[in-house]
Structure 1
Amino acid sequence: MTKHFRTVSAMALATAIGFSASVVQADEHMPGEGVSVQPITSGIAEEIFQHEILFEGLRRLGYEVEDPLESEYAVMHVALGQGDADFTGVHWNLLHEEFYQNSGGEAQLTKMGNLIANVLQGYLIDKATADEYGITNLEQLQDPEIAAIFDADGDGMADLTGCNPGWGCELVIEHQLPEYGLGDTVRHNQGSYFALMADTIARFEQDEPILYYTWTPLWVSGVLVPGEDVEWLEVPYTSLPDNDDATAEDTSANGLNLGFAVDDIRVLANRDWAEANPAAARFLELVEIDINDVSAQNLLMREGEDSMSDIEAHADAWIEENADTFEGWVEEARQVE
């Protein structure tokens, strides 16, 4: 949709001012002309939107954007460090720190901008159960009777809908459950997160208690709305794997200690590639997308607008709604030598 719109607009402008479209195009500096870019993503459909916005900006700078590679987050970081991919738009600055360091750190990689700021993670339960039993803190699930309320499979343990193997949040959950004395009362259910969440939502709709992990931005909190349908659980104190310096201030939002660092999603790129392509690097550094815009787009996907063409249309609409800002980013990047 965007490419067609730009072509029609250029032709209309050329007619109006008496110049050919080719002359207008020739006046635009295309620093990426002849250069292909290899992005990499997680393969999670809900993370395509932000990448499509990045891809379009690079195309306007003349770069040829290849179809993205897909991998789990740990492998993604290794691929970037080794130069098998050029960049991703889904590096969680704090959550993925171990992946970053294990893949070469600053010597091999470079972090850019704050693509999506103030993203949250944590544990939630349904509001009805929270209110009935006065449950506000994950630590309360040390009590076998409280934990059994969330038993979905009959083994007496609370069933926590958790993280896929290989995700950064897996490391945190696997650290926190024994740290908070929950190893014998809470089971971390892993597999396909979205399949597990579909089952969790189905149980909620049948008025059954639920316990789950999620993050924002994501459609889940548009379906299970915090404060209305569900409640965030606090943790007894801050404890993160391989981060003894983290404080309650680092993991708190809206007066609640959620146990996970309040984070930023950043662009992560191979350092050599970024240094060789300063215009692309500058554009990727500049882009910022409001977290509420991402959540709204994710909810559209949940409601059925989930095809690749739908997601591309969502990205095009966002670019059109933020045209002045977006074009400003492109033009600033175009000036980089």
Structure 2
Amino acid sequence: MNTSRGRALLAILLTFGLLAVACGGDDSSTPAVTPEPAPDPAAEPAPAPEPEPTLPGEGVQITMARGNWIETNFQNYVVQQLLEELGYEVSEPEEIAPATFFPALAQGDYDLWASSWPLNHTPLLEGESPDGGTFADKARFIGRMMASGALQGLLVDIPSVETFGFTTLGELLDNPEAVAHFDTDGDGKADINGCDDGWGCQKVIDDTLAKNGWDDRAQQISATHSALFAESQASFAGGGPVLQYVWTPTAFVGKLVPGRDVLWLAIEPHQTLEGQDGISAVGDACTKDPCTTMFTPSDIVVAANKDFLAANPAAASLLENFEMDALAVAVQAVAIDAGADSEAEIAAAASEWIANNRDKIDPWIEAALAAG
């Protein structure tokens, strides 16, 4: 027998031998009594897992809008993402002009946006509703997202100020030579490169001109703001005049720099509209000190439908507590101006801001969860 086959046979015999032992010996022997095994505590059924806590926004859809100026996208994406942390399903914010937004908000086409400038937008919110009352009966501002974070006004080039010696808009418009200097289309009126159609600032400028009887000597040019600003920038580069509306936080004041290239153009406090006589703290970057710029420094806040807020106390709590530093928006505005202007890039910047500010955000989320 060769060795390998012998080993195989031995293995078979051993296997059968083991089986025989396992099956017992002679039939007459008394079978061994095997004690019942003790129950294994580990085998007892585990308790049912605790159900996951329900988020207050689960099953609720939110329709957001945002202003039709790209710098506002950043804070709207932040608000969208924080609402999603509460379980809400939030639409991509839809771009819309303020004059169109507030009627749509009041009738429930939108639930909210984070693009409100109360001093500019209150006249729009208080507009007459087709079904009676005003839009403010059904919508309101909420929170103080950026408290006094927004400066607005007209910038005028320093060489023109030095040439004509005016310190206020009224003095400029009382000087026919200065009016002619800023008349870019030859119609006898100084041209103010102003706001987009439907923006709140458009109405403030036009109403201020009308209140003071200046609309026979000055007119606001309304078009896409970025295009108007580019026109003013080109005029300045060529040695021409600048009379341009701007706001902060944006990148515009990094291109025509107050105090270096231009000054904020003051207006006498009594010549402003009601509530627009606040002082802007801009130091010597204004034609007059103290500096009243036609616009009181404004909060930037959320506006929301009242029925939505009442039905969603968690969202209302978050929006009431939510705050941002205007500097963060300004930094993002510079990034947008430098080319990081896609929706994906701005949304990613919003996510980064949230990740870097959890120490502020987590208490807001906890309060919202408690409210919901």
Tell me the TM-score range normalised by the shorter chain: 0.7 to 0.9
How many residues align? The count is 310
Moved more, 315-324 or 76-85: 315-324
Among candidates 92, 106, 117, match of residue 147 of structure 2: 117
Question: Could you say which residue in structure 1 is the equivalent of 2:241?
Answer: 209
| CA positional deviation for 1:274 | 0.7
Q: Which residue of 1 aligns with 2:300?
A: 265
Instruction: Give the structure, 1 or 2, with the largest relative contact order (CA under 8 Å, sep 6 or more).
Output: 1
Select which of 149, 161, 164 maps to 1:133: 164
1:163-312 paired onto structure 2 within 5 Å: 163-241=195-273, 243=274, 246=275, 248=277, 250=278, 252-254=280-282, 255-312=290-347
* 1:305 partner SS: coil
The change in CA–CA distance for 1:137 and 1:62 in structure 2 (over 3 A counts) is same
Superposed, 1:20-169 pairs within 5 Å as 27=52, 29-102=54-127, 104-118=134-148, 119-142=150-173, 143-169=175-201
CA contact 2:62–2:111 (8 Å) conserved in 1: yes
**Whole-angstrom distance in 1 between the partners of 2:340 and 2:93:** 21
Residue 44 (structure 1) shift:
2.0
Q: Which residue of 2 aligns with 1:20?
A: none
Compared CA separation, residues 163 and 333, structure 1 to 2 (3 A): same
Aligned-pair CA distance for 1:313: 2.0
Instruction: Give 1 or 2 for the bigger CA radius of gyration.
Output: 2
Does the CA-based 8 Å contact 1:114-1:265 persist in structure 2? yes
Segments of structure 2 that go 5 or more residues without pairing to the other structure are 1-48, 283-289
SS at match of 1:227: coil
Shift of 1:261: 2.4
Deviation at 1:251, TM superposition (A): 5.0
Would the aligned equivalents of 1:120 and 1:263 in 2 still touch at CA under 8 Å? yes
Unaligned runs of 5+ in 1: 1-22
Q: Is the 8 A contact 1:141 1:186 kept in 2?
A: no
Do 1:238 and 1:257's aligned partners in 2 also have CA atoms closer than 8 Å? no
CA contact (8 A) 1:238 1:251 kept: no
Moved over 6 A (4+): none
- Between the aligned partners of 2:163 and 2:52, the Cα distance in structure 1 is 67
Measured after TM superposition, the shift of residue 105 of structure 1 is 4.7
Letter of the 2:300 partner, please give it.
Answer: I
Displacement of 1:106: 4.6
What's the C-alpha RMSD, in Å, of the aligned pairs?
Answer: 2.1
Cα distance between partner residues in 2 of 1:139 and 1:106: 34
CA contact under 8 A between 1:144 and 1:157: conserved in structure 2?
Answer: no
Contact 2:276 2:295 in 1 (8 A): no
Structure 2-normalised TM-score?
Answer: 0.77
SS for the counterpart of 2:119 is coil
Structure 1 letter corresponding to 2:222: Q
**What's the TM-score, normalizing by structure 1?**
0.85
